Structure 1
Amino acid sequence: MELRTLESRPVLIDQVYERLVDAISIGSLPPGQRLRQEKLAADLGVSRQPVSHALAMLKSSGLAVEQGVRGLVVAPIDPQRLYHLYEVRAVMEGLSARLAAQRVAADPTLEVTALSEALAKGAAAEQVGDIPAAVDWDLAFHSAINVLSGNPVLTEVSDSQRPQIRRVMAVVKTDRSLATRIWLEHTAIADAIRVGDAATAETLAREHAARAGEETRRRLISKARSANTA
């Protein structure tokens, strides 16, 4: 049996999807918000077709759910599920940092510019209170480590988690003192990778992700309780 070549997904669908993910991540589309094709298409200045495909992608990524007669809505944030996601992330990031440090130790000429750029620009974004940019550079920092690890599966799995992680990072980054600590931890991880200290890089990366998961869960639960008592 001969299979016909599939056409690549239109770029417009990806653009609509990314715009919706951005809106969900920064809270412009909050949990429980109805996702109506007509309104979204009008707001974005596109036809309903790319919006329909983008909404299906949101469902697949867990960012949108069907809610009876209300139809499709932005999915609620489940603190416990996010904590479980961070548990997995801690193991992956530890492995990624260890592999990256081992590769740098074996070949000191490996390019680490992306790591340094993410550190510098992420910290600068935090200083001026640009939370969306800080979140993006935080993710870029971890992506750079995945690339340095030389293991493409780490990048693939991390990218699949990216929408969920990006959505909750802003919750933690609104606390400036905590955000500053996060970038100090990033710097320590990067330093260990640069000198090829695999054991330290792995330990720091795992502890960093574990703390982030616990802090995120605590803040999400506190936020939900405050909303219920308001």
Structure 2
Amino acid sequence: MKPLVNAPSRTEQVYHAIRESICDCSLEPGMHLVQEDLAGTLGVSRQPVQQAMLLLKNDGLVVESGGRGLFVAPIDRESMEHHYQIRLVLDQLAVRLVAERSRQDAAFKARLRREGDAILAIGKGAEQAGSAAEAVRHDVQFHSFIYDMAGNPLIRPTAESHWLFLRRIMIGVLLHAARGPLVWAQHEHILDLLVAGEVDRAVTLATDHVLGAQQALIEAMEAGKADHLFGAATLS
């Protein structure tokens, strides 16, 4: 076998570029993806775009509609609820483990406070600047930080595939449900409870945090406030 090359391949670069555009809703749910256009925009040949599309289909971010081609996967309520169910369980587990570690380890508690506060400061700044996509990136960073601090190395990789879907959902929540300030206030409160080692209270607030975001999105969808983001138009 030949040594692996560290630099990302052209296919990986294309995959990540398109994936990020889907996750931050620059490429909206239901949008027709024309491979020639994508190749032209990215300045590459069609081959890496074709290969990237296979990876994106495996992620569930791109779907094929008969003979009509490839489309950004729509966001429907049932899929949203399924992803939120998994996220809820993972967040509850991570928060419980972090709070328990904080109660037992002073050095861990100090690190949790220091690094958590830094993430909160950056995230609040992004939210106040009005960039929903950037605020969501830091939102994911906050939750990923908790996953990492939980001490179970399986939590974060298990969550990552769901975040690919949920990041698009969260953009909609911030843009259409006006939850930005509340989200970051809850993050701050969750961190305080984790640092204090308040296991049960931290789990309760984390639960309310996830379910509140889900309910806000459901209400936005039912009110028709974000039809262009949440796949109101079908692909059939």
Q: What are the superposed Cα offsets for residues 103-161 of structure 1, whole Å, 9 maximum, x if unpaired?
A: 12111212224322221111111111011110000000000000010111110111111
Q: What are the superposed Cα offsets for residues 31-73 of structure 1, whole Å, 9 maximum, x if unpaired?
A: 2222222211110112222212211111011111111121111
Within 5 A, what are the aligned runs for 1:34-73? 34-73=32-71
Within 5 A, what are the aligned runs for 1:165-184? 165-175=166-176, 177-184=178-185
Deviation of the 1:221 alpha carbon? 3.4
Moved more, 11-20 or 59-68: 11-20
Match of 2:102 in 1: 104
Q: Secondary structure at the match of 1:65?
A: strand
Give the helix-richer structure, 1 or 2.
1
Deviation of the 1:225 alpha carbon? 8.7
Moved more, 185-194 or 212-221: 212-221
Amino acid aligned to 1:22: E
Match of 1:188 in 2: 189
Aligned pair count reads: 226
Amino acid aligned to 1:183: W
Deviation of the 1:168 alpha carbon? 1.1
CA distance in 1, matches of 2:20, 2:223: 24
Q: What are the superposed Cα offsets for residues 153-175 of structure 1, whole Å, 9 maximum, x if unpaired?
A: 11011111111011111111115
% identity of equivalent residues:
36
Match of 1:22 in 2: 20
Structure 2 length-normalised TM:
0.87
Deviation of the 1:215 alpha carbon? 1.4
CA distance in 2, matches of 1:34, 1:90: 32
CA distance in 2, matches of 1:6, 1:69: 41
Structure 1 residues 72 and 7: alpha-carbon distance in aligned structure 2, compared to 1, 3 A threshold: farther
1:125 and 1:134 in contact (8 A); partners too? yes
Structure 1 residues 226 and 31: alpha-carbon distance in aligned structure 2, compared to 1, 3 A threshold: closer
Amino acid aligned to 1:90: L
Deviation of the 1:211 alpha carbon? 1.2
Structure 1 residues 223 and 140: alpha-carbon distance in aligned structure 2, compared to 1, 3 A threshold: same
Q: What are the superposed Cα offsets for residues 158-209 of structure 1, whole Å, 9 maximum, x if unpaired?
A: 1111110111111111157421111111111100111111111111111111
Structure 1 residues 225 and 189: alpha-carbon distance in aligned structure 2, compared to 1, 3 A threshold: closer
Structure 1 residues 192 and 5: alpha-carbon distance in aligned structure 2, compared to 1, 3 A threshold: farther
Indicate yes or no: 2:223 matched with 1:222: yes
CA distance in 2, matches of 1:225, 1:174: 9
Deviation of the 1:226 alpha carbon? 6.0
Match of 1:90 in 2: 88
Structure 1 residues 224 and 188: alpha-carbon distance in aligned structure 2, compared to 1, 3 A threshold: closer
Amino acid aligned to 2:216: E
Structure 1 length-normalised TM:
0.89
Indicate yes or no: 2:146 matched with 1:145: yes
Q: Please, which runs of 5 or more residues in structure 1 have no aligned partner?
A: none
Q: Please, which runs of 5 or more residues in structure 2 have no aligned partner?
A: none
